[in-house]
Amino acid sequence: MERRAEIGPRQTHRLWHRSLISGLRSPFTVLCISVLRPLFSGKVPMRRLLLPIAFLAACAPSEPQVDTVTAAADSMLSAYTTVRLDADLSGLTENERKMLPLLIDAADQMDEIFWYEVAGPKDSILAAIANPSLRRLVEINYGPWDRLGGNAPFMAEVGALPPGKHFYPPDITKAEFDSIADAAPDGGKALRSLYTLVRRNGAGGLTPVPYHVAYQSLVKRASTKLRAAAALADDPGLKNYLTLRADALLDDEYQASDMAWMEMKDNGIDVVIGPIEIYDDELYGYKAAHEAFVLIKDREWSDRLSRYATLLPGLQRDMPVPAAYKAETPGSDSDLNAYDVVYVAGQTNAGSKTIAINLPNDEEVQLAKGTRRLQLKNAVRAKFEKILTPIAGELIAEDQRPHVTFDAFFENVMFHEVAHGLGIKNTINGKGPVRTALKEQYSSLEEGKADVLGLYMVMKLAEQGELGEKDLRDNYVTFIASIFRSIRFGASSAHGRANVARFNFFQDMGAFTRDEATGTYRVDFDKVVEATNTLSAKILEFQGQGDYDGVVAWMGEMATIRPQLQADLDRLAGAGIPVDVTYEMGKTVLGLE
């Protein structure tokens, strides 16, 4: 465990935020003591040591110290490279162009809400930081905790980030929550809802506060913008979805709008908005955080991809697990499309950035309608060119580097999202939905499942001749290279944990070897197939059984970065290869103002 200043047992949200702000006001208050233990444990990459060490040197208020802090913050910022989210709007109708600013305005309300969910009021936090580099670092991370560094704090007097963020009281324990929730008249349904905050009441108990009540003014603003966009929508499906989503923001009843979103087929622009992913609830994985994407469809690429969704039922039947684990049939309305992302906000903009979307998460909607897989083509290309290609040049055996290709990367990402629709949504032994049975472990295991089943799908489709002339070695080598990319997202990321576990599992099965002389990795093409099938079966069985204890034990063993891997990750940082991207985006970038 990292030794950091702990939040007192009865501190309120207000006291915790006041402590945060007091730590931000002075440019010389520092986090150093709170992070000493991880610094000397060898668990923090060298790039992550620079800011705390500089802060240690900056404890005396003299002008040179400020420059040292700025330099250290700039070093942490160098983990990101900026990508401009411009787009060709020439294919949009006049009304669609008018809709974009309204959707961006609605997205901004989700951003404000997400700040409250994980840190506190955005404006007061950022306004209290005089140092521009430090302020930018806080802005990227949505608070003074390093999302690429296991959520370690990089500001003074902040302490550890509670695993339940602001969704729960900061001093809550699992034992206390479970006891009160289980004794509630509804069995804890409201307290465990995706769409409630948990707050203490004056009677020593816990009270669920619906999102639409807690964030009333912000969701009203967003709802108004969505209704204005709906009035402009030429596509009937998009108009219906926007109207229903506007309603849902005001009552937290999202299923009808999820169904409507699944039925949209011909829309040229799209928006994903609301409380969606549970990644930031690291206490239980119950609470969905607010986010938004504004997207423009690439119709040419979408036409190329659409046929793969029809193959899902056959791929489900062929999965390498007993019949009980593949009895569910994926929804028939699933589709697969390519988009350019032009704006993101909230959870999806925090830390590492999404390159594909698989939604909705509602298991009932998935079984009735399937899911939509949205490949964010411009984001995929940016990460391939700016991050994956340089990683391959550093860590992949020289003769295998030509197998790292954009087409293989795009396919692997695409089928990762498709694979979320495979497998099992409900346990086979009466423990309920997999998501609730596995609690906070669900997200990492589900991402791990999608990775290996995605590669399994590529293999099966190539075998069936569905991918045309295909050299699967491209997909295998690109897959292994991309593990290094995703591991760097850090332990606070579900994707990061999933990739560490898979790296160790594949290494133990001999799917790749490391050349000590060159420090590069070589893929064994036969063993990578065996490892893919074996890990797919293991994860699907964990999910089907709802084996929470088994997943905790397995992830505890496998999701740990081993010394040699850490040394190689440090080489990537030393080579100046960015970990992820940040976006330059908005109405001005799109030429809309």
343 membership: H or E segment, kind and range:
strand 335-346
Q: Average pLDDT in the 434-455 region? A: 92
Q: Which residues pair with 426 in a beta bridge?
A: 433
Cα dist from 422 to 260, 417, 440, whole Å = 22, 10, 21
Q: Give residue 203's pLDDT band: very low, low, confident or very high (50, 70, 90).
A: confident
Supply the pLDDT for residue 65: 52
Which of 34-38, 92-96, 379-383, 560-564 has the lowest average pLDDT? Answer: 34-38
Please name the residue ranges forming H helices in 184-278: 211-214, 216-232, 236-251, 255-263
Supply the pLDDT for residue 311: 79
What are the φ/ψ torsions at residue 290 (nearest 5 degrees)?
-80, 140
Supply the pLDDT for residue 491: 60
In degrees to the nearest 10, what's the CA dihedral of 171, 173, 176, 182?
A: 120
Answer yes or no: CATH 3.40.50.150 is held by domain 216-584.
no
Supply the pLDDT for residue 424: 85
Predicted confidence (pLDDT) at residue 6 exceeds the cutoff of 60: no
Beta carbons of 422 and 315 less than 8 angstroms apart: yes
- d(Cα 583, Cα 297) in Å, to the nearest integer? 19
In tens, the pLDDT along 560-572 reads 999 999 999 999 9
- Where do you find CATH 3.30.540.30 in the chain? 216-584
Q: Which residue has the higher pLDDT, 519 or 317?
A: 519
In tens, the pLDDT along 546-558 reads 999 999 999 999 9
Q: Is 128 exposed, middle or buried (0-12, 13-18, 19+ CB in 10 A)?
A: middle
Q: Average pLDDT in the 152-179 region? A: 92
Supply the pLDDT for residue 15: 31
Q: Is 294 exposed, middle or buried (0-12, 13-18, 19+ CB in 10 A)?
A: buried
Helix-then-strand count for the chain, H and E:
25, 13
Beta carbons of 295 and 340 less than 8 angstroms apart: yes
| Nearest residue to 358 (alpha-carbon basis) of 262, 287, 290 | 262
Supply the pLDDT for residue 38: 38
Supply the pLDDT for residue 314: 83
What are the φ/ψ torsions at residue 578 (nearest 5 degrees)?
-65, 155
In tens, the pLDDT along 306-362 reads 777 777 778 888 888 888 888 887 655 567 899 999 999 999 999 889 998 889 999
Supply the pLDDT for residue 331: 59
Supply the pLDDT for residue 271: 98
In tens, the pLDDT along 115-147 reads 999 999 999 999 999 999 999 999 999 999 999
Which of 116-125, 169-178, 301-310 has the lowest average pLDDT? Answer: 301-310
Contacts of residue 375, Cβ cutoff 8 Å, sequence gap at least 6: 301, 305, 336, 337, 338, 339, 355, 356, 410, 413, 414, 417
SS3 58: coil
Q: Which residue has the higher pLDDT, 178 or 320?
A: 178
Q: Give residue 492's pLDDT band: very low, low, confident or very high (50, 70, 90).
A: low
In tens, the pLDDT along 523-554 reads 999 999 999 999 999 999 999 999 999 999 99
Question: The tokens 């409900």 sit on which residue?
Answer: 426
Beta carbons of 43 and 35 less than 8 angstroms apart: no
In tens, the pLDDT along 21-77 reads 333 333 333 333 333 333 333 344 444 444 544 443 343 344 445 577 788 899 899
Cβ count within 10 A of residue 304: 12
Beta carbons of 245 and 122 less than 8 angstroms apart: no
Q: Percentage of residues in the chain with pLDDT exceeding 70?
A: 87
Supply the pLDDT for residue 158: 83
Find the length of the chain.
593
